[in-house]
Structures are given as structure tokens and as C-alpha cells.
Amino acid sequence: MTPEEIQQTIEGMLAVQKELQNSQLKHSEQIADLIDEGRRIDRRIDQNSRDIRDLLDIVRSHERRIEQWERDVEPRGRISEAFDRVYQDIDELQAKTEAASQEMNGKLDAILRRLTGES
């Protein structure tokens, strides 16, 4: 090989080496950017997770309040039982009223027949 060919080969190798270094720097920058983006995504995921936990806490709190209201409105079914008893009493009174009404109608019929002389 002639000295010029050696010189050209060395220059070519140096050019390839420089391209490789530039490519390596470019890839290093891209990797650093990807790492930064990954960290930003992790922070957003962490914040979203905290927000979800906070929302779940709020939902649980509301569920507890609703349960308490239900217990306050109808503790151990006492109100329902009371309504059932009231309805039962109303049914009994209706039955007694109907029986008394029929008895009264029978007596009134008997009085009217006596007064009018009908049998």
C-alpha cells in the first residue's frame, strides 16, 4: 500500500469513527429523553393513582353516610314494623266498621219495616 492509500484508509476510518461517535451521542440523547419521558409518565401515573385512591375514599365515605342515614331512618326495621302494625290495625278497623255497618243496616231495615208495617 502506498502512503497516500494508507492516509486515505486512516482518514476513512477516522470519518467512520466520528460518525459512530455522533450516532452514539445522538442515541444517548434519545435514551436520556426517553428516560425523562418515562419519569414524567411515572409521576402522572402516581398522581392518577393518588387521585383514584382519594376518589375511592370519598365514595367509601359517602357509602358510610348513606348506611348511617338508612339506620337513622329505619333502625333495625322498626319503622317498617310500625307501619305493618298500623296497616293491620286499619284492616281490623275496616272489618269492624263493615260489620257494624251491616248490623246497623239490618236494624234500620227492621225499624223501617215495623214503622211501615211491611214484613
pLDDT, position 39: 92
Is there a single domain that holds both residue 68 and residue 93?
no
Greatest Cα pair distance, the chain, in angstroms, is 159
Q: How many domains does one find in the chain? A: 2
52-105 pLDDT tens trace: 999 999 999 999 998 888 777 766 667 778 888 999 999 999 999 999 999 999
The C-alpha cell 239490618 sits at 106
User: Cα separations (Å) of 105 from 3, 43, 58?
Assistant: 142, 86, 65
Whether residue 63 sits in one domain with residue 17: yes
Could you report the per-residue pLDDT of 31-46, keeping only the tens digit for each?
A: 888 999 999 999 999 9
Domain interval for residue 14: 1-73
CA dist 34 and 75 (Å) reads 59
